[in-house]
Structure 1
Amino acid sequence: MQADPLSTARLDLLPLRVEHAEEMAAVLSDPALHAFIGGAPLTVDELRTRYERLVAGAPEPGVSWCNWVLRLREESRLIGTVQATVTGRHAAEIAWIVGTPWQGRRFASEAARGLVTWLVGRYVRTVVAHIHPDHRASAAVAEAAGLSPTDETHDGETLWRLALRP
């Protein structure tokens, strides 16, 4: 499975390219973005190296890495990312991040809904996300995308799931 260009009401979800690293390094430069996910902002070179790995694809057979940057049409600029790790054609793990200046305007929810719709249209029947229990904004994004919290945890994060019938 490969990332296709997608559009939502306000966003274009563009398949990730290595060339996005420079603009995205600025978008993701706020250390506060790492409060729940750990780590620190990457430099342009570090992000370029990461994007090279992502664009090359998953080394595991049957696993697809689908990554998009989010372009806000009204500002004609990148504001974040969404991603899906698809195993086989029936399950995907998703994640999202939006730069600090664009938070609070439901861009992550809009992008996550678009991503889940795209995945379901490709016969993915289980979508999951791992969310820190104190990260209320990410929980709201997961809920907006149709996922619900489970009793399962992994590395201190709650597993959220959307399971559709085959």
Structure 2
Amino acid sequence: MSTRPRARRVRILRAEPIRTQRLRLDPLRVDDAAELAGALADPALYRFLGGRAPDEEQLRRRYADLVEGSDEPGVSWCTWTVRELDGGRAVGMVQAVTGPDVGGLRAVISWMVGTAWQRRGYAVEAAQALVEWLRRRGVRTVTAHIDPRNTASAAVARSLGLVRGGDHHGEEVWTDRPRHG
């Protein structure tokens, strides 16, 4: 009998289509850059992120990297374009970076909804669908890193059941309580 420890199987997640009552979350494609460059062009969206709104070519390069995935073993980059069901117009995006954690997987999530579609509950609806999708795939711990001045994103995090749990590089870390059993 071998006394060598068994190698753990590392689970890689891939974005899959998700539907909600009003939205469709489609796995990100490089070609989504054209539409999202317009939907996410308002400079106000970047006041807590730093920098400026990327143009279409910058998004194409960024999305090509995201679609290719992480080089880090066991880490998945799952990104979706959020679209209205009625008409299919892109209104934003959600993302989960997943990796191994004690007893399962963990995910750091983020969301962004274009200014023209804010205050409709789209960020909450898309983020809730994302968290449910993650849970069905074994993710036990979900966190989000939010600028302390971003009260709108803090409200989304609260609606997901996340609680403020500390600071990391100037951002508040919102997390759920790890699930056991």
TM-score (norm 2): 0.89
> Structure 1: which amino acid aligns with 2:131?
V
Number of equivalenced pairs: 165
Q: Hey, what does 2:46 align to over in structure 1?
A: 34
Which whole-Å CA distance do the structure 1 matches of 2:133 and 2:28 have between them?
A: 16
> Structure 2: which amino acid aligns with 1:39?
G
Q: Hey, what does 2:169 align to over in structure 1?
A: 155
Q: How does 1:1-166 map to 2 (within 5 A)?
A: 1-88=13-100, 89-150=104-165, 152-162=166-176, 163-166=178-181
Deviation at 1:155, TM superposition (A): 1.5
Root-mean-square deviation over aligned CA pairs: 0.9
Which whole-Å CA distance do the structure 2 matches of 1:155 and 1:80 have between them?
A: 25
Deviation at 1:76, TM superposition (A): 2.2
Q: Which protein shows a greater Rg?
A: 2
- Unmatched tracts of structure 1, length 5 or more: none
> Structure 1: which amino acid aligns with 2:76?
S
Which whole-Å CA distance do the structure 2 matches of 1:11 and 1:83 have between them?
A: 15
Which whole-Å CA distance do the structure 2 matches of 1:165 and 1:55 have between them?
A: 32
Deviation at 1:67, TM superposition (A): 0.3
Which whole-Å CA distance do the structure 2 matches of 1:74 and 1:109 have between them?
A: 18
Which whole-Å CA distance do the structure 1 matches of 2:66 and 2:144 have between them?
A: 19
The one-character-per-residue Cα deviations of 1:85-135 (angstroms, maximum 9, x if unpaired) are: 000251000000000000111100000000000101111000000011121
Deviation at 1:153, TM superposition (A): 0.4
> Structure 1: which amino acid aligns with 2:157?
A
The one-character-per-residue Cα deviations of 1:22-46 (angstroms, maximum 9, x if unpaired) are: 0000011110000111111111111
Deviation at 1:64, TM superposition (A): 0.2
Which whole-Å CA distance do the structure 1 matches of 2:14 and 2:80 have between them?
A: 10
Q: Which moved more, 1:96-105 or 1:85-94?
A: 85-94
The one-character-per-residue Cα deviations of 1:43-66 (angstroms, maximum 9, x if unpaired) are: 111100000000000110100000
Which whole-Å CA distance do the structure 2 matches of 1:11 and 1:144 have between them?
A: 17
Deviation at 1:75, TM superposition (A): 3.6
Moved over 4 A (4+): none
TM-score (norm 1): 0.97
